[in-house]
Amino acid sequence: MASTQSKETAAGNRSTRAVALVGPAGTGKTSLAEALLYASGTVRRRGSVEAENSVGDTSAEARARHGSTEINLMHFDFLNDRYALIDVPGGTGFAADGLAALQAADIALVVIDAVPERAALVEPMLRQLDELDIPHAIFVNKIENARAGAIRELIAQLQELSGEPLALRQIPIREDEQVTGYVDLALERAYRYRPGEESERVDIPSGVAEREIEDRTHLLETLADFDDDLLEALLEDETPETTVVMADLAADTAQNKVVPVLLGSALTGGGIHRLLKLLRHETPLPQTTAERLGIDGGALHVFKIANGGTMGRLALGRVFGAALNEGDDLVIGNEQTRTGSIFLVQGDKTAKQPAAAPGDVIAIAKLDSARSGTLIGRKGVSDSSDLLIEYPSRNAAIAISTSDRRDDVKLSTALRRLCEEDPALEWMQDEASHETILKGVNEEHLQVVLARLQGRYGVKLDTKAPSIAYRESIRKGATQRGRHKKQSGGHGQYGDVIIEVRPLGRGEGFEFDDRISGGVVPKQWIPPVEAGIRDAMEKGPFGFPVVDVAVTLIDGSHHSVDSSELAFRLAGRQAMSEALEKCAPYLLEPVMKVIVDAPAGTGSKASSVLSSRRGQILGLGPHPHWQRWERVEALLPESSIQGLDAELRSMSHGLASFVTEYDHLAEVGGRQASDVVKARAEEMV
């Protein structure tokens, strides 16, 4: 079955297969991409992330981190087929960059460490691949360092986490505490790694013979679950043909029924050739992926807008259906547009092409109305549509301002471009605090965004923690007169009001009415009195906006010449400011509802973290949908969210995550309140 796929593509109907490299941070995805480019003869020298000369991770931020901060696109040819690589960052703050691209891949390679203790890290990705129904294989990297027994333990753990049965394809051969080769369980052949070269075939060492039989039997039984003929053969004790086993593996992987597991090393090149062969035989064609995505009639799946390179704005995407030529008519929404210049991308290098083959992953210039997460249609053939992509919640925020005010315009242009290329990033102008707020997935994400703002756009920035939206309210009522009177030659100013202030229930806001009779405050000056009262409420006695009060204008007086709108506004403001001081004001803080998802066994630790941050735990129990996970719900002051992400992750091997939403305002008292009020007073000086 797999070989027919390749023949079809070789016979002129050439199409490119797209492979997404995913998995936890630092497992070696970018290194593996490098190893694949090298093994396929695409690059002559194998660069490395450590030496900062890899094809991927070329941005200043990725180089500095020695880890990916955005997706890397690469491609290579192997035995007359073309493969596109989409290398997705593993870091939690950056993984969202690959979400839209991952959906367009024909297969995902989940790259993991050969360390059983870290198996749990891969669970969220396995779950996501299952939800999206993306065929995938697992590549156990850094195999040269695997300790004895590691693979056996790792497979047992992974099987618990995987929705589909695993098909372990290889078992390690060890010599002197080192993994030096493997036995291929499907082919029943042994190979010894040769650094930088294809592995050489050797005899199956006697030491692994017993395990080979056991694991091969398990592999065959797994495949037999989906193949009645094979099942029959096994029951009859017949040895199945290798071609049958290989065809089953290819078909079952492509349909996401089984998950093959391969071993190797991106560093030494061990197992890479075997991996290339798996990609050749097991990766479905783009037509299959188009069906999975419901793409009819061909389209361009745009998964990212890139503004960072030397080419200006580029739409990165994958071609489905027929080939795409420069100048072809496309449809985005109701709009028609033409395909601009087409480029193949190799890390930070772009090569112009007259046309893109089906399945190619390309960059297109001048597709101004293209957005990431869009399926662009072809004129007269297909419509465009938007993809549903769930981006992670933005749990970190920072307030930024330009060090030099002249950079303000540059800053807003840069922010617009950065948010366009990174949907996990958001910026807003906070109306109450007048701060420019950047919101990102976590602190690390924001740090990289700041580095990009300064490095790529040359904007020098000052940063601080965003202000918390404290409010104040009153405990009791008061009656207060406010008189604004000025006699300074010519026209004087005169406004005089008496107001009654009383507290309202939480969330009732502000009410104003009047009981003026006989026109002591003429009608046209009552709205200015209300405006003055509202002015005073912008900064109450503690310096924060006042909420939940009612005010009645009960009396006052005016002057036939000197009274004016302004005079009454100032009188209203003065009366309200003085009244509030007498009304026993108190401080309110925003409280958020927080939902934490944590791996089983860490839920109670997560709730202690929340309690220690003044959280009120609402519940701790099993996760409603995910096995082996727990969910903690709590109410937590907004001021306690800062740093929560890092703390929760550090107690859960990086796995716990949370979402928040505004819940209510709650009274703050004691030391806490006086600290806030003091800080506010200093800020207002």
Ligand X SMILES: Nc1nc2c(ncn2[C@@H]2O[C@H](COP(=O)(O)OP(=O)(O)OP(=O)(O)O)[C@@H](O)[C@H]2O)c(=O)[nH]1
Least distance CB 48 / Mg ion (angstroms): 12
Least distance CB 267 / Mg ion (angstroms): 14
Query: How many Cα atoms within 13 Å fall on the side-chain side of residue 265?
Result: 23
Q: Which of residues 265-294 bind ligand X (CB under 6 A)?
A: 265-267
User: Per the structure block, which two tokens stand in for 22?
Assistant: 């995913």
- Window contacting Mg ion (CB under 5 A); options: 60-68, 198-206, 229-237, 364-372: 60-68
Least distance CB 652 / ligand X (angstroms): 18
- How many Å apart are CA 527 and CA 497, to the nearest integer? 12
- Window contacting Mg ion (CB under 5 A); options: 67-75, 95-103, 193-201, 663-671: 67-75
User: Cβ-count burial of 562 within 10 angstroms (0-12 exposed, 13-18 middle, 19+ buried)?
Assistant: middle
Q: Is 27 in the site for ligand X (CB under 6 A)?
A: yes
Nearer to Mg ion, 68 or 222 (CB): 68
Least distance CB 122 / ligand X (angstroms): 12
Site string for ligand X, 78-117 (x = CB under 6 A): -----------xxx-------------------x------
| C-alpha torsion 113→115→119→122, nearest 10 | -10
Q: Are 559 and 525 in contact (CB under 8 A)?
A: no
Q: Are 441 and 92 in contact (CB under 8 A)?
A: yes
Nearer to ligand X, 223 or 266 (CB): 266
CA 280: distance to chain centroid? Answer: 30
Q: Which of 42, 48, 255, 401 binds ligand X (CB under 6 A)?
A: 48
| Amino acid of residue 66 | H
User: Per the structure block, which two tokens stand in for 119?
Assistant: 């198996």
- How many Å apart are CA 253 and CA 106, to the nearest integer? 11
Q: Is 551 in the site for ligand X (CB under 6 A)?
A: no
- How many Å apart are CA 219 and CA 221, to the nearest integer? 5
Least distance CB 85 / ligand X (angstroms): 12
Q: Are 258 and 134 in contact (CB under 8 A)?
A: no
Q: Which residues, other chains included, contact 90 with Cβ-Cβ below 8 Å and sequence gap of 6+?
A: 22, 23, 24, 25, 26, 27, 29, 67, 68
Site string for ligand X, 123-142 (x = CB under 6 A): ------------------xx
User: Cβ-count burial of 159 within 10 angstroms (0-12 exposed, 13-18 middle, 19+ buried)?
Assistant: middle
- Find the residue with minimal CB distance to ligand X: 90
H runs (alpha helix) in 593-663: 603-612, 644-650
Instruction: Please calculate the CA angle 269-274-280 and round it to the nearest 5 degrees.
Output: 125
Least distance CB 658 / ligand X (angstroms): 22
- Window contacting Mg ion (CB under 5 A); options: 28-36, 195-203, 444-452, 616-624: 28-36
Partner touching 157 among ligand X, Mg ion, none, CB below 5 to 8 Å by kind: none
Q: Coil, strand or helix: which one is 6?
A: helix
What one-character DSSP code corresponds to residue 120? G
Backbone angles phi, psi at 449, to 5 degrees: -65, -40
- Window contacting ligand X (CB under 6 A); options: 45-53, 329-337, 356-364, 536-544: 45-53
Site string for ligand X, 226-265 (x = CB under 6 A): ---------------------------------------x
Partner touching 31 among Mg ion, ligand X, none, CB below 5 to 8 Å by kind: ligand X
User: Cβ-count burial of 163 within 10 angstroms (0-12 exposed, 13-18 middle, 19+ buried)?
Assistant: exposed
Q: Which of 15, 16, 27, 30 binds Mg ion (CB under 5 A)?
A: 30
Backbone angles phi, psi at 176, to 5 degrees: 45, 55
Q: Is 574 in the site for ligand X (CB under 6 A)?
A: no
Q: Is 50 in the site for ligand X (CB under 6 A)?
A: yes
Q: Is 480 in the site for Mg ion (CB under 5 A)?
A: no
Q: Hey, how many other C-beta atoms are within 10 angstroms of the C-beta on 558? A: 20
Among 439, 438, 307, 318, which residue's Cα sits nearest to residue 373?
A: 318
Nearer to Mg ion, 303 or 525 (CB): 303
- Window contacting ligand X (CB under 6 A); options: 47-55, 237-245, 275-283, 347-355: 47-55
Q: Coil, strand or helix: which one is 657?
A: strand
Nearer to ligand X, 271 or 543 (CB): 271
User: Cβ-count burial of 443 within 10 angstroms (0-12 exposed, 13-18 middle, 19+ buried)?
Assistant: middle
Size of the site for Mg ion (CB under 5 A): 3
Size of the site for ligand X (CB under 6 A): 22
Q: Which of 17, 29, 136, 445 binds ligand X (CB under 6 A)?
A: 29
Q: Are 365 and 341 in contact (CB under 8 A)?
A: yes
Nearer to ligand X, 33 or 220 (CB): 33
Nearer to ligand X, 145 or 288 (CB): 145
Q: Is 30 in the site for ligand X (CB under 6 A)?
A: yes
Q: Is 31 in the site for ligand X (CB under 6 A)?
A: yes
Partner touching 145 among Mg ion, ligand X, none, CB below 5 to 8 Å by kind: ligand X
Chain contacts with ligand X (rule: CB under 6 A)? 25-31, 48-50, 67-68, 89-91, 111, 141-142, 145, 265-267
Chain contacts with Mg ion (rule: CB under 5 A)? 29-30, 68
